[in-house]
Amino acid sequence: MRYEPIPAKVYKQNRDQFAKHLRPKSLAVFNSNDIYPISADSVFPFEQHRDIFYLSGIDQEESILVVFPDAIEKMNKEILFIKETNEHIAIWEGAMLTKKKASELSGIQTIYWLSEFKKVFQELSCQCNRFYFNTNEHYRQSVETQTREDRFIYWCKNHYPAHGVGKSNPILQKLRSIKVPEEIKQIQKACDITEKGFRRVLSFIKPGVWEYEIEAEFAHEFIRSRSKGFAYSPIIASGMNANILHYTENNKKCLKGDLILMDIAGEYGNYSSDMSRTVPVSGKFTSRQKEVYKSVLNVKKEATKLLVPGTIWKEFHVEVGKLMTSELLKIGLLDKADIQNQSVNKPAYKKYFMHGTSHHMGLDTHDYGLLHLPMEANMVFTVEPGIYIPEEGFGIRLEDDVIVQSEGAPYNLMESIPIEIDEIETLMNK
């Protein structure tokens, strides 16, 4: 692995916290992700399922974690199954994890080869009354592909129909939303890598460069900083492209006078960062661009202050809507008639700011978190207001990653990444 792993004690703590939420005589199973095919003999790079990674630190395909707090024998309370390596695999793909290395990374003492899973599982099934399955219940999920987890659940229900079932995901939604210091350190590292990329492109951007060339500059900086690359599909949107919220083609030439919106960030150790910045292709904002930019920045600064313990996510967005409405009135995009004619379900500001302001962030860019529960200390959220004006040919979005603190103001993990107009112009015109 390229990254420095989190200490095994953290994964042990995660498993202990998870186990506390299981009903008596219950056994939970977590599967790694598949390696997904493209065509012929081509496959996508492997990405570990974030739940098994959160509970074990194992970043390898064909792995299974079993958590069984009420197992009769102590050695069976935590079991990890990994793919057995051999000389052929070592020559062609590199050596897989040994049992010793897997134990060092995860803190799990009982390690079996994957080929032994069904035999061991059969023995443990006689000691438990319930299986906890790990279904995907994220509020944004829309996955149609059958996963390794899906296949296991189908197999298990068919072979053990008398067992009850429980759900692991609601437990993990709560646990994963609150970060421990070691996780925050990984997220900070991802943010620092993102900063390196952004500072690099500020001196690279000029009229005539292509959006994909800017993407390549980021990729170079991220990978040389021990990141796998982008935390999500990068958006490099110049001119009118900035008004397409999920624009990822990145294939337009950047023209003099245009703004370029970059929603792009690096990962580190499977932890994400998430940044948006908007800069002038020519190195100088026009007076109108500055006016709109300042409004977005004002909303971001004021919205950040609201990320405190006890805040409800939905209520937070209502308050941000009020902030944005005030700014849109100030810069002439809304008038009193627009406000009088708006409704609760269709507020006037949504014409120019149509997406949400914030989401949980961590192992997933849109990370786990139960949005109906109050915010707590050590949750990490994005703050990302934007104003999009197709009729004027540009859009502006600004985004940072912020930790909710138990006391005092929220802490911005991206506070050192340039965002003020003067600093950006100065760096672009060095």
111-115's contacts with Cβ under 8 Å and 24+ in sequence apart are 111/79, 111/80, 111/81, 111/82, 112/79, 112/80, 112/81, 112/82, 113/81, 113/82, 113/83, 113/84, 114/62, 114/63, 114/64, 114/81, 114/82, 114/83, 114/84, 115/84
358 in Cβ contact with 386 (< 8 Å) = no
Taking the model in full, what pTM does it have?
0.96
Q: Where in the chain is the domain with CATH 3.40.350.10?
A: 8-177
pLDDT beneath 70: ranges in the chain: none
CATH code, residues 181-428: 3.90.230.10
Q: Where in the chain is the domain with CATH 3.90.230.10?
A: 181-428
* pLDDT for the residue numbered 142: 83
* pLDDT for the residue numbered 90: 75
Q: Is 60 helix (H, G, I), strand (E, B) or coil?
A: coil
CATH code, residues 8-177: 3.40.350.10
* pLDDT for the residue numbered 194: 98
* pLDDT for the residue numbered 85: 82
**What span, in angstroms and rounded, lies between the C-alpha atoms of 108 and 249?**
43
* Sheet of 78-82, strands arranged across: 110-113, 78-82, 64-67, 26-31, 130-133, 164-167
* pLDDT for the residue numbered 88: 79
